[in-house]
Amino acid sequence: MLLKGDDRKHKIYAIFIYTGILVFGFVLNTIIIFAADNSAGFFVFFRMIGAIIVFSPFFMEQFMFSAVDDRNRTNYTATIGYEKNISNHIDHLKKIKEKITYGVIFEILKDLPRHNSFKYINKNSLSDEYFKKAYDTVNDENIYIVLSNTGSAASEVISIFTKKIYNHISISFDSNLETIISYNGGDHLYPPGLNHERIEWFNRKKDASLIIYKLAVPGKRKHLMIDKVSDINKAGNAYNILGLILKFSAKPNILFCSQFIYKLLKLAEINYFEMDDGEVRPTDFIELDYYRKLNFAYEIKFDSKPAGTNTVAAGFC
């Protein structure tokens, strides 16, 4: 009853396609792990294939669902609306061409081998000094939600599919962002997972920016949130890169940025919207704030030269 007509057909196609991509990914991993050829060229070749596998479900989703949307629109829109839709697709393709450059692809390929979505690879990256600062903020009964438009390679690619400017989210226990953390790629300094972020990490393009919102939380619940961060830091964690596509976590502490923030809010019983944590996107925290729980604090715009010289950091959001 839930699958009818063309919708049923497209869902069946999607199941077969995504299953095929998943199986191919496991086969590829097996080939690499048990390969007799350990040459550099061998690994570069399979890194390229790996990058295509990672992002292929996004492209398939765009292709399949845009096709369905186009077909449905013709049932009730005039020719002018259809032509506008074609124009929008052309503009979107131009943006894809602008964002998926050789440098972006190279950085993503370079960063992929550092990730693991099945075991913890990051542990104790947050220092005792960090937790001292965090616990010292308990009397400030607020947390700070930080949306960022970073310009990282992964963020630029993800923006193609989300069509959002802000594709990373962090949390800080103080207003000056001295305790800002999130799940990220570690900026090649730390393993991908839960890491203390540096403001300069966000300055990866000319128009990079941060928007900071304040959310009230009782002191005891804020303490509970910091305790949970400490537990994750001690137990180990990893960035949930596969979760961006498959919407699942192999282990409790394998998460992506918005998944982590939502879980923390829910733990403290201050989540102001209900959603499966694997489905939450960074902009949902703003767009689904129907009860106006968030208060705008301030914005940071980076007008100076982006951090780094000629490269773009991958740093999966």
| Residue pair 311/103 in contact by the 8 Å Cβ criterion | yes
Dist CA 152 CA 102 (whole Å): 14
Dist CA 24 CA 47 (whole Å): 14
Check pLDDT > 80 for residue 6: no
Specify the amino acid at residue 184: N
199 against 265, higher pLDDT = 265
Q: How high is the pLDDT of residue 208?
A: 87
Query: What is the distance between the terminal CA atoms of the chain, rounded to a whole angstrom?
Result: 38
Dist CA 48 CA 59 (whole Å): 16
Least confident of 25-39, 165-179, 198-212: 25-39
| Residue pair 185/238 in contact by the 8 Å Cβ criterion | no
Determine which helix (DSSP H) or strand (DSSP E) holds 71, and give its type and residue range: helix 40-73
pTM for the full predicted model: 0.70
Calculate the CA 261 to chain-centre distance.
Answer: 11
Radius of gyration of the chain from its Cα atoms, rounded to whole angstroms: 21
> How large is the average pLDDT for residues 139-153?
89
* pLDDT one-digit tens code per residue, 249-290: 999 999 999 999 999 999 999 999 999 999 999 999 999 999
Q: What is the residue-wise DSSP string for 240-304? A: -TTHHHH---SSTTEE-HHHHHHHHHHHTT---S---GGG--TTHHHHT-TT--EEEEEEEE--S
186 against 107, higher pLDDT = 186
